Chain A
Amino acid sequence: MSALEEQFVTEARELILQATDNLIALERDGGPERVDSVFRAFHTLKGSAGVVELPAISIMLHAAEDLLDSVRHGTHGAGAEIVDAALACLDQVSRWVDNFEAAGALPSRAGEDGRAMAERLRSLLPGRTGEQSVLPAPDRLKEGGRGALPEWVSHLIAAERDAMTSRMPDGPMLATAISYEPLAGCFYNGDDPLQLMQQLPDLLAFHIEPREPFVPLADIDPYTCNLRLRAISAANRDEIASIFRLVPDQIQIFGVPPEALPAAAKHITPSELSLVQKVIEAQCELLRVPGRTDGLAGCVGAAARVAENALRHGRHLHLADTVGRAGALALAQHDAGPLLSALEATLAAFASFPSTMVPDGDGRPNTTATSERPTDRVLRVSEAKIEALVNLTGELVVARNALSYSIRQFDKDLGREVARSIQRDRDAIDRLVTELHSTVLQLRMVPVAQLFGSFPRLVRDVARQLHKKVELVTHGETAEVDKTIMDRLFEPMVHLVRNAVDHGVEDPEQRRAAGKSEAATISIAASRSGDRLLVEVTDDGRGIDPAVVRRTASEKLILSPEELTALTDEEVVDLVFAAGFSTASSVSDISGRGIGMDVVRTAIEQIGGRVSLESKVGIGTTVRLDLPTTIAMSRIMVVEAGGQSFGIAMDSVSETVRVKPDRVSTIKNNDGFVFRDRVVPIISLAELMNLPGHKRDAAQSRLLVVMETAGRSAAFEIDAIRDRLDVVLKPMQGLLAGARGYAGTTLLGNGQVLLVLDVKEILP
């Protein structure tokens, strides 16, 4: 993909988002500025689609623009119908942008789909006269859709009847007629209409003519295209549309019913197939005679002609064309090679036909489906941030040079002064490297506005579907978070927002009965607190009733009745995060399949965040996400156990304590101690990791790291605490990729690889 195309993809996504937001705002509060900004977004989008030559998108957006223009000039109100149509148009563009990014092209039907969408948009225009339209697309579509075939098709069939008869494949078939009128300036766009026609598979008939009678040679402009190219092909419509996908506005495609076509000459029998095969094999033999120089041209020419005719007779039209081309190439190069390999390829293609199969006239393999390529995400970075990075790197280089100087000095006189100077330089480098690192991490920081941007649309659509009235308020869009975190936050957030509209918000009648305003408010707020990002999703709906949760939890056997009675109301509400829990009485297609909230909790914990929930019956629910702002750095504690070092993420460490033996009590085989009014089990890390534990002096106090994760606490017994570090955690790779119990590895200053434990996983 070229830089231009990459830029288009990024820009298009932004513009789609912007247009969507503005459309929703327009529907909500109207206002001329809104219409203007929607119009502008569509206009810019159309422009960029034009630059990368995606006319299917341009056609559609052009129609949308016309529609919005009529809204802008007050001929038309911005009703839900228009907003729906415009949003559908944006959805289509969005899907195509994804296709374009993945495959470098739009789907083959894009041209026709684009025209259909344009038609739909135009149908909403008041008293549509088509005057505003510069594109005759809708009328063409009508002509091409059904009804009478244009006259030229029957003329062409009549003129080419004999030739077509010999080219027709067997069996009932539907042919496709194409009329292509290239733009007058098409040569300047780099178009070669003939080249496009040559790509038509299974061509049955072709005709080229001037659109306007040619002017005398003296007055002709060689670079103005005045041609009309027409063809009939046995290929299907989609295949043809895909060939002409870049010029959908210049072609008309018609389905030709079988009765309009001349009948196929005759049936091809397996014996004929083998005859064709034999003829080609004979040509191969002929060409393989070594050392032939005299008469090579004659031999190649004859072999190519014979093979081509045989293939044409057998109605392998595409293969015949290929062989013909290879023959011409072989003649030009005075080398039988190209022809020979084409013939061998033909024989190989024959061998792959099932014995009863009738050739379809197309020896080509099907175009392979566009392989799924992981989406290449583009990070847009502000110039200031890059500039800061460059400056810092520059300083780093200077500092390093100073260090080299110091080392030379050190060489000369082994003085203390020098050692101190080296120390100073090292410190300077250290500071710069730290700063550099944090700046680089800053490059990955993006405002959450990008995430929040998709929710107005979601809320609108879900609310409309459920006949609820919901207003969405967002706060703190400028708070920044690491791109990886934001990407992984998207799905859980969608769950939360959907849940809020579906389960949280009541129907308008219920709200009225409860003395609330009909329109509910959902707010999404983000804020930075130190190196954490807090995101809150709040609704003013019915709230979660602990009694209902208790009932559901016992019905679904999530907890035993005894356990349930032991829980406070807040703890009960927290059960909505349990797997298999869903409070909605019926499963809707929006949410409530019982997979919602536990998925949210898992996803948030995977990125090092925490989820909590607060709800008051009749007042509303708030879900609070507490997230790290960067995923790249983690603070770890390096501990030693059984003679090895391990890292433990500080997130899960709540305290380190030394415990005198008399505080430890043994229950069965397990040690435990009372810590802040709770019994915390003690686990020897060395034992857990199957390392030799060292003999403990019974009177010696024990060093414990108390950890809290997923609501459980436990203490690891360790031999020593070595260090606290900020590290870049690398996931386990290669052979170790499958190893459980480790969050990743990191490289220590001395070159040692430190294994960082995944506490949640290894706790028994």
Chain B
Amino acid sequence: MTVRRSDTGTVILDGVCAVEDAEPLLQMLQATPAAVVDWTQCRQLHTAVLQVILASGIAPIGPCGDVWVKQWLAPELPQKEAGG
């Protein structure tokens, strides 16, 4: 799964997150609005997925694995630094 929940409850975006990942991500965020989203492994982010992140107002733990998003979008988002 490109969108999954880890054992600790972190929502992980992994690999190429395509348009169809928007819905499961939204459901997870609706279920746990305070969830931690980790997008460091996400290699490519679809606009629809990004829109869900933007709409939720959460700050994913970064940096984003999608280099373009990391460079051009991350400054626009409230951001937490990755642990390691």
Contacts and interface: CB of A to CB of B under 8 A. Distances in A.
Given A208-B76, A222-B23, A227 B47 contact: yes
Contacts of B79: none
A225 B71 contact: no
A597 B71 CA distance: 66
Contact of A321 (B23, B46, B71, B76): B71
B61 interface: no
B54 A193 contact: no
B10 interface: no
Interface in A134-179: 163
Nearest to A218: B30
B68 A226 contact: no
B61 to A, nearest CB: 17
A191 B46 CA distance: 10
Interface residues of A, number: 32
B55 A225 contact: no
Given A223-B48, A226-B51, A321 B68 contact: yes
A194 B46 contact: yes
Interface of B is mostly: helix
Given A187-B19, A192-B47, A194-B45, A328 B67 contact: yes
Contacts of A163: 75
Given A217-B30, A222-B22, A194 B50 contact: yes
B59 interface: no
Given A321-B68, A321-B71, A217 B51 contact: no
Contacts of B43: 328-329, 332
A553 interface: no
Given A217-B29, A217-B55, A218-B30, A187 B48 contact: yes
A325 B67 contact: yes
A455 interface: no
A329 B33 CA distance: 31
Contacts of B26: 217, 220, 222
Given A222-B23, A225-B47, A227-B51, A207 B67 contact: no
A250 to B, nearest CB: 13
A207 B26 CA distance: 23
Contacts of A225: 47-48, 51
A210 interface: yes
Interface in B16-30: 19, 22-23, 25-26, 29-30
B55 to A, nearest CB: 4
A206 interface: yes
Interface string A205-219: 011101000110110
B60 interface: no
Interface in B39-84: 41, 43, 45-48, 50-52, 54-57, 65, 67-69, 71-73, 75-76
Nearest to A206: B72
Contacts of B52: 220, 222
Given A187-B19, A207-B76, A208-B73, A195 B47 contact: yes
B50 to A, nearest CB: 6
Contacts of B50: 194, 208
Nearest to A320: B71
A327 B66 CA distance: 11
A328 B50 CA distance: 19
Contacts of B56: 217
Contact of B55 (A187, A193, A214, A324): A214
B63 to A, nearest CB: 10
Nearest to A188: B19
B80 to A, nearest CB: 19
Interface of A: 163, 182, 187, 191-195, 197-198, 203, 206-208, 210, 214-215, 217-218, 220, 222-223, 225-227, 321, 324-325, 327-329, 332
Interface of B: 19, 22-23, 25-26, 29-30, 33, 41, 43, 45-48, 50-52, 54-57, 65, 67-69, 71-73, 75-76
Given A223-B19, A328-B67, 14 more contacts: A182-B47, A194-B45, A194-B47, A194-B50, A203-B72, A210-B54, A217-B26, A218-B30, A220-B26, A222-B22, A223-B48, A225-B51, A321-B71, A332-B43
16 contacts: A187-B19, A187-B47, A187-B48, A195-B46, A197-B72, A210-B54, A210-B55, A214-B54, A214-B57, A217-B29, A217-B33, A222-B25, A225-B51, A227-B47, A227-B54, A321-B68
